[in-house]
């Protein structure tokens, strides 16, 4: 069997609660900056949750008023992140049918769904926006990005809850390996900060009820963690077949060396360490690596009491305790379908810069977390490979293995 060609990462774009682009986001993560704030809006008054992590920069600062008005917020985020990633990659010139788009999301255009339902109930059918359907459909972000870039190799939308963005990268990897694309623009987006969604997550006891000091609420692996903080945002990476990227002289951020997409088939919302172990081990095999090859772990780590313990046990079993572990949701909150893509980017930049972000708000490590969690100060070092985990409601387990460009 011929040797499999590598898949390189050549561009990155992001808009998050801590930064309006990828560079600003990374700088904020290294600085320990939190994007969590108090919910002071009038509509939030009766909610059982009091904090959220909204975008640091509005998409309308990058989009024209004409294009923004026909896009749901999640589609706006997708365009902002994808355009930055495309520019960062040097706008690769490829046959349009060899360029694919894969943008995952957990809830799609739910803000449009809820908002237009209010219009319908209040004013009737004739007052609905003619843009309602393309704004609410989950494939909208991928479709708009494909049209914006002229990508005709397929526009796909994994919807796997909080694993959506990571699954999008895994699918992009598969498309290139299968010879179906030379370039794939892949990542995840989410925008669902709304009283309905916040209340729904709160009813299942997933969100932290804390009201004091918003920036301290998200605290992965800490003994005082009490649930996650809902966030919004997007992160998109440009993946390229190595031969294509090298031939055009592309700047390389790193390599997406392996991936796995599994399902626990166990419980609709509970974390399953066994399923996570399987996902990590499959990703390592796909990358042709063993546990000791992993020098850094970017944990899914949402700050829930049971979820963090399940992942800690899975990482300990599948990788060991030698690799420093970061958990950037302590700063961004949980960007749901976008979080896996941002986790992959954080892992790549950790390898590139030789610095792993410290977990914010980790005052007392849960003694049941038997891992080398980075806390207090950022960890510096030289690591060749990193693991990035993403797990979602429905038993979706995705693990990615990334390597630096050395």
pLDDT, tens only, 237-289: 999 999 999 999 999 999 999 999 999 999 999 989 999 999 999 999 999 99
Average pLDDT over residues 42-54: 94
Give dist(CA 62, CA 75) in Å, integer: 13
Give dist(CA 140, CA 156) in Å, integer: 10
More confident residue, 130 or 4: 130
Q: At what angle do helices 22-31 and 339-353 cross, to 10 degrees?
A: 70
| CB neighbourhood size of 228 (10 A) | 27
Q: 328-376: per-residue pLDDT in tens?
A: 999 999 999 999 999 999 999 999 999 999 999 999 999 999 999 999 9
Residues in the chain: 406
Answer yes or no: 334 catalytic: yes
Instruction: Tell me if residue 5 falls in helix, strand or coil.
Output: coil
Interacting residues of 309 by C-beta distance below 8 A, sequence separation 6+: 366, 368, 369
Q: What is the pLDDT at residue 4?
A: 84
Answer yes or no: 298 catalytic: no
Average pLDDT over residues 138-146: 98
Nearest alpha carbon to residue 293 among 385, 389, 356, 404: 385
Rg, C-alpha atoms of the chain:
20
Answer yes or no: 192 catalytic: no
Q: Indicate which residue of 162, 192, 194, 396 is catalytic.
A: 162
Q: Indicate which residue of 194, 298, 334, 396 is catalytic.
A: 334
**79: part of which helix (H) or strand (E)?**
helix 73-88
Q: What is the pLDDT at residue 405?
A: 78
Q: What is the pLDDT at residue 406?
A: 54
Read off the tokens for 254.
Answer: 């790193």
Average pLDDT over residues 291-310: 98
Give dist(CA 352, CA 364) in Å, integer: 29
Q: Indicate which residue of 50, 194, 296, 300 is catalytic.
A: 300
Give dist(CA 360, CA 52) in Å, integer: 16
């Amino acid at each position: 069997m011929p040797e499999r060609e590598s898949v390189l990462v050549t561009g990155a774009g992001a808009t998050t609660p801590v930064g309006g682009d990828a560079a600003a986001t990374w700088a904020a993560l290294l600085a320990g900056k939190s994007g969590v704030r108090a919910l002071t809006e009038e509509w939030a008054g009766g909610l059982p949750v009091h904090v959220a992590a909204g975008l640091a920069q509005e998409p309308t600062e990058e989009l024209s008023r004409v294009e923004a008005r026909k896009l749901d917020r999640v589609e706006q985020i997708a365009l902002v992140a994808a355009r930055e990633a495309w520019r960062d990659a040097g706008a690769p010139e490829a046959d349009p049918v060899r360029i694919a788009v894969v943008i995952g999301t957990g809830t799609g255009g739910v803000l449009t769904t809820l908002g237009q339902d209010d219009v319908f109930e209040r004013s009737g059918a004739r007052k609905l926006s003619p843009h309602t359907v393309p704004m609410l459909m989950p494939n909208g972000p991928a479709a708009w990005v494909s049209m914006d870039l002229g990508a005709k190799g397929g526009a796909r939308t994994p919807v796997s809850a909080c694993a959506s963005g990571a699954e999008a990268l895994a699918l992009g990897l598969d498309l290139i390996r299968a010879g179906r694309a030379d370039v794939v623009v892949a990542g995840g987006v989410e925008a669902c900060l709304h009283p309905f969604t916040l209340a729904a997550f709160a009813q299942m006891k997933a969100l932290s009820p804390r009201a004091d000091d918003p920036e301290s609420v998200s605290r992965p692996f800490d003994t005082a963690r009490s649930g996650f903080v809902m966030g919004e945002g997007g992160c998109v990476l440009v993946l390229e077949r190595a031969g294509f990227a090298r031939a055009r002289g592309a700047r390389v951020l790193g390599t997406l060396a392996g991936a796995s997409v599994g399902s626990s088939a166990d419980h609709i919302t509970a974390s399953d360490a066994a399923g996570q172990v399987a996902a990590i081990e499959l990703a390592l095999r796909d990358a042709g690596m063993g546990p000791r090859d992993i020098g850094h772990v970017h944990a899914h780590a949402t700050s829930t009491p049971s979820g963090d313990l399940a992942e800690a046990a899975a990482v300990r079993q599948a990788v060991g305790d030698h690799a420093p572990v970061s958990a950037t949701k302590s700063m961004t909150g949980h960007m749901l379908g976008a979080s896996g893509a941002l986790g992959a980017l954080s892992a790549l930049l950790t390898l590139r810069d030789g610095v792993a972000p410290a977990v914010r708000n980790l005052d007392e490590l849960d003694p049941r977390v038997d891992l080398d969690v980075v806390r207090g100060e950022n960890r510096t070092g030289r690591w060749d490979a990193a693991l990035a985990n993403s797990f979602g409601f429905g038993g979706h387990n995705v693990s990615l293995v990334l390597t630096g460009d050395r």
